[in-house]
Amino acid sequence: MIKNLVIVESPAKARTIEKFLGKDYTVMSSMGHVVDLSKKDLSVDIENGFEPKYEISPDKKKVVTNLKKSARDAEWIWLATDEDREGEAISWHLVNALKIKEDKTKRIVFHEITKTAIDEAIKNPRQIDKNLVNAQQARRVLDRLVGYELSPLLWRKVKPGLSAGRVQSVAVRLIVEREEEIRNFKKTSSYRITAQLILKEGKGQKIVNAELPKRFKTKEEALEFLKSCQGAKFKVDKVEKKPAQKSPAPPFTTSTLQQEASRKLGFSVANTMRIAQNLYESGKITYMRTDSVNISKMAMAQASQEIKSLYGDEYVRTRQFRTRSKGAQEAHEAIRPTFMNKRQVEGNVQEKRLYELIWKRTLASQMAEAKIEKTNVDISISTSKEKLVAKGEIIKFDGFLKVYLEGRDDDEQEEKAGVLPPLKKGDELDLKEMLATERFTKHPPRYSEASLVKKMEELGIGRPSTYAPTISTIQKREYVVKEDRNGEFREYDYISLQGDKISEQKKKEMSGVEKGKLFPTDLGTLVNKFLMQFFNNIMKYNFTAKVEKEFDEIAAGDKKWNKMIGEFYSPFHDKIQETAEKTKKFSGERLLGKDPESGKNVFAKIGRYGPMVQIGDTESEEKPKFAGMRKGQSIETITLEEALKLFDFPRSIGEYEGKELTVNIGRFGPYVRHDNQFFSLKKEDDPAGIGQERAIELIEEKRKKASENTIREFDKDKKVKVLKGRYGPYIKIGRKNFKIPKDQDPEKLSLEDCYKIAEDPKNTPRKRYRKKK
């Protein structure tokens, strides 16, 4: 017999709370939502006030059965789900799914898992807030309507299996538009003047680095300036000292954890969440899906204690941070170590590193500001009215910097102001070298997974529990790809003035290197174009913020949820119908020009198998010619010349062993074909230039490898082979592979042995899990 049944959302939370509550309380978890709209169909009754048709989620049947059993004979049921819209709905769903009377339930909430917070919560039960539940219904129904009406439209107009939604489509838009900005970006260059000056100090000398605040637009101007400095005298004109302060960053939320783990540890967003989940489940950190920067009084006291014992009293400065992110619901604490005095944890390397990051961030957040002294020194030039400026920075008191400094996104690290030698007005300086270096403006940066999350949070789009899944969805749909791109060398001018001598050089630097950045695909660009054209309001960056405001009104009881949905739905649905009827297939066709040979139009567009180019109109009598695009080419950027080149294949390049050699470009890239066999070209091979000699090389190379990997062959049955593979030896019969049992020696297998092994179903490969798109 259970006296009190407490239901929370997470099992790890249940374990902790049970310890605080004593033996009169049994704590169980719902594992999140237990009730939802059916996945199979719309499950919203449009005619009847958008009444949702709920069902117990298939994967929660067991959970519900167990909860029901315990709830039946419990005296009181305490609904302790999170204090936000979704949590309130979960409580309401539980009441219905467990078929319990509402007067047997008490709704309680807490934002932190500490004994005091829980005791306090138990003392202040309330009833379920139906308005808040309705706000959640509105959110759920809106997302369903948008997702389940837009996606099928895309299947018809663009390609089957695609998807669209309030969150994912805007995420794709951000990436597509950033790429457009980058494409339209015109880089310009300017000339930056820097100088190394020498301060004589008794016997020794000190270097002072200075820079001209202004830049020159042209090389001529820069050169002119350097010339004007030939033989000039340099003198300290003004020394200005200013104190400054630096404050620590707030404790981690999901989004900031993802960003820092990406910047400092190179973790992907999904990886960070997986590791954090492990740390949470083993009780090392607090909950990892949160938008709150608050930490409990207890944690604050522990942090303060820890700082004191490690660094001393003057390093302690506890503070509570205020959230600045849009739509934060703050049902949890910030992400912090459960025990601040635990500086390291057991676990694998990644867990250790992530924990250390969380520990440092939390500790630093309760430490004193760093005190800095900034120095600006103006240096006059006897031959010019321009002045050089030297900047210095001294840390007077390191404070939180002793432990942790937040990383930055911009890859060009700001030139760090170092320590300046002591300078005073009137000091004379000798010029060691003055440089004019050509610098280029940079296009806005492409998004990484983590910086996309940051942007989404700023816009109030998505929630801590969905950032990682959304990013994987838009990649799974092939709207965007995460890629590295090689940079290119570019030349820049480097002009030096040393003594009285001016010398000019061209130097080379790498530019445009991208690592782990998100690029839109042609499909993503196309879907975005479609949605922007016909469903502009949903694609607006403030659409979510706008509906959130209405959800708040519903939660406050000022608006009926189905009225709000009705106002949205009717124009939306009209547009869906209109688009379905009036538009043709959306292929993103772009006219590149005319084919000089035939005079026909050349297009780039998306076909059934991806981006392609086409010579001739689709409507014309004569069938157009088609060719697939190469990797790295895109509808938006391909030129007429590049497109025409794609029609030069297949190309005959001679023969070998009496059989013809041809080069072609297939689904998996360029290849050489010989005697009905395929040989992929290497990265460095150019399909347009490759000749017979190189083709033979490729063939021989592949043959050699194959023979090295062959353990046994049989003259009687050429289809049967024993081969060495990535996972060890295996048998190949025709196109099928078979495992070799551990007790058999692959070197000694006879043909009969092979047949026997192949017959045993134990050795047949498992049905390959087909990649879902």
Least CB distance from residue 583 to DNA, whole Å? 16
Q: d(Cα 423, Cα 750) in Å, to the nearest integer?
A: 88
Look up residue 638 and give its two tokens. 């391909």
Which range in 4-12, 264-272, 428-436, 590-598 contacts DNA by CB under 7 A?
4-12
Minimum separation from the CB atom of position 280 to DNA (A) = 7
163 binds DNA (CB under 7 A): yes
8 Å CB contact between 7 and 26: no
- SS3 category, 331: coil
Q: Which of 349, 621, 657, 769 binds DNA (CB under 7 A)?
A: 769
Rounded Cα distance between 148 and 164, Å, is: 8
Separation in Å, CA 394 to CA 200, 243, 374: 21, 10, 7
Chain positions 395 to 454 lying near DNA, rule: CB under 7 A, are: none
Compare residues 148 and 234 and give the one whose CB is closer to DNA.
148
Beta strands in 441-580 (DSSP E): 480-485, 488-498, 501-511, 514-520
CB of 618 to DNA, least distance (A): 6
State the residue for tokens 């360029």.
Answer: 670
- Minimum Å gap between C-beta 696 and DNA is 17
**Closest to DNA by CB, 402 or 721:** 721
Q: Is 41 in the site for DNA (CB under 7 A)?
A: yes
Distance CA 266, CA 757 (A): 45
C-alpha pair distances (Å), 51 with each of 38, 404, 565: 13, 51, 11
Rounded Cα distance between 583 and 624, Å, is 23
Cβ closer to DNA: 133 or 162?
162
- Member of 282, 323, 465, 475 binding DNA (CB under 7 A): 465
152 binds DNA (CB under 7 A): yes
Q: Which of residues 721-760 bind DNA (CB under 7 A)?
A: 735
Q: For residue 205, list its beta bridge partners.
A: 200
Total interface residues for DNA by CB under 7 A? 81
Q: How far is the CB of 398 from DNA (least distance, A)?
A: 37
Rounded (10°) CA dihedral 328, 333, 336, 338: -160
284 binds DNA (CB under 7 A): no
Q: Does 164 bind DNA (CB under 7 A)?
A: yes
Shortest separation between residue 70's beta carbon and DNA, angstroms: 17
Is there binding between residue 52 and DNA (CB under 7 A)? no
What are the backbone dihedrals phi and psi of residue 733, each rounded to the nearest 5 degrees, phi first?
A: -125, 110
Residues in contact with 526: Cβ distance below 8 Å, sequence separation at least 6, in sequence order:
158, 586, 587, 588, 606, 635
Q: How far is the CB of 256 from DNA (least distance, A)?
A: 16
Is position 610 an interface residue for DNA (rule: CB under 7 A)? yes
Helices 449-459, 254-265: axis angle to 10 degrees equals 160
* 16: contact with DNA by CB under 7 A: no
Residue of 50, 92, 110, 148 interacting with DNA (CB under 7 A): 148
- Name which position in 106, 360, 402, 463 contacts DNA (CB under 7 A): 463
Q: Is 161 in the site for DNA (CB under 7 A)?
A: yes
Cβ burial of 294 (10 Å; 0-12, 13-18, 19+) is buried
Any residues with CB less than 8 A from the CB of 535 and at least 6 apart, and which? 150, 572, 575
Using CB under 7 A as the binding rule, whether residue 550 contacts DNA is answered as no
Q: Is 39 in the site for DNA (CB under 7 A)?
A: yes
User: Considering the rule CB under 7 A, would residue 289 count as an interface residue with DNA?
Assistant: yes
Stretch that binds DNA, among 94-102, 312-320, 560-568, 671-679 (CB under 7 A): 671-679
Select from 492, 541, 626, 647 the one that contacts DNA (CB under 7 A): 626
- The candidate with the shortest Cα–Cα distance to 104, out of 75, 80, 73, 126, is 75
Asked if 287 is an active-site residue, the reply is yes
167 binds DNA (CB under 7 A): yes
3-class secondary-structure state, position 121: helix
Question: Which of 1, 22, 23, 40 touches DNA by CB under 7 A?
Answer: 40
Stretch that binds DNA, among 33-41, 423-431, 487-495, 632-640 (CB under 7 A): 33-41
| Type and span of the H or E element at 695 | helix 692-708
Q: How far is the CB of 570 from DNA (least distance, A)?
A: 19
H helix runs in 375-518, sequence order:
449-459, 467-476
* C-alpha dihedral sign at 423, 425, 431, 436: positive
Residue 644: how many CB atoms within 10 A of its CB? 18
Under rule CB under 7 A, which residues in 673-712 are in contact with DNA?
Answer: 678-680
**DSSP per-residue codes, 362-375:** HHHHTBPPEEEEEE
- Least distance between DNA and beta carbon 251 (Å): 18
Q: Which is nearer to DNA, 217 or 719 (CB)?
A: 719
Cβ proximity to DNA: between 9 and 438 the closer is: 9
Closest to DNA by CB, 26 vs 466, is: 466
Q: Which of 186, 324, 424, 766 binds DNA (CB under 7 A)?
A: 766
Among 371, 517, 499, 530, which Cα is nearest to 444's? 517
Map the footprint of DNA across residues 87-106, applying CB under 7 A: 87
CB-wise, 387 or 645, nearer to DNA? 645
**144 is a site residue for DNA (CB under 7 A):** yes
Stretch that binds DNA, among 141-149, 193-201, 204-212, 705-713 (CB under 7 A): 141-149
Q: Is residue 618 a contact residue for DNA (CB under 7 A)?
A: yes
- 357-376 mask for DNA (x: CB under 7 A)? --------------------
User: What's the first-to-final CA gap in the chain, in angstroms?
Assistant: 49
Cβ nearer to DNA, comparing 194 with 680? 680
Kindly name the residue from 25, 280, 287, 671 that is annotated as catalytic. Answer: 287
Least separation in angstroms between residue 406's CB and DNA is: 25
Residue 668 touches DNA, criterion: CB under 7 A? yes
The single residue among 6, 7, 79, 85 that binds DNA, judged by CB under 7 A, is 85
Pseudo-torsion of CA 471, 473, 477, 478, nearest 10°?
A: 20
Pick the stretch among 136-144, 256-264, 336-344, 353-361 that binds DNA (CB under 7 A). Answer: 136-144
* 86 is an interface residue for DNA by CB under 7 A: yes
Please check whether residue 453 is in contact with residue 255, taking contact to mean a CB–CB distance below 8 angstroms.
Answer: yes
* 577-611 exposure pattern, b = at least 16 Cβ within 10 A, e = fewer: eebeeeeeebbbeeebeebeeeebbbbbbbeeeeb
Distance CA 346, CA 279 (A): 10
Cα 155–chain centre separation: 26
Q: Are 211 and 363 in contact (CB under 8 A)?
A: no
The residue (of 190 and 763) whose beta carbon lies closer to DNA is 763
Shortest distance in whole angstroms from residue 30 CB to DNA: 8
Toward DNA, which CB reaches closer, 56 or 417?
56
Figure out which of the listed residues 189, 196, 325, 473 binds DNA, where binding follows CB under 7 A: 473
11 belongs to the binding site for DNA (CB under 7 A): yes
Catalytic residues: 287
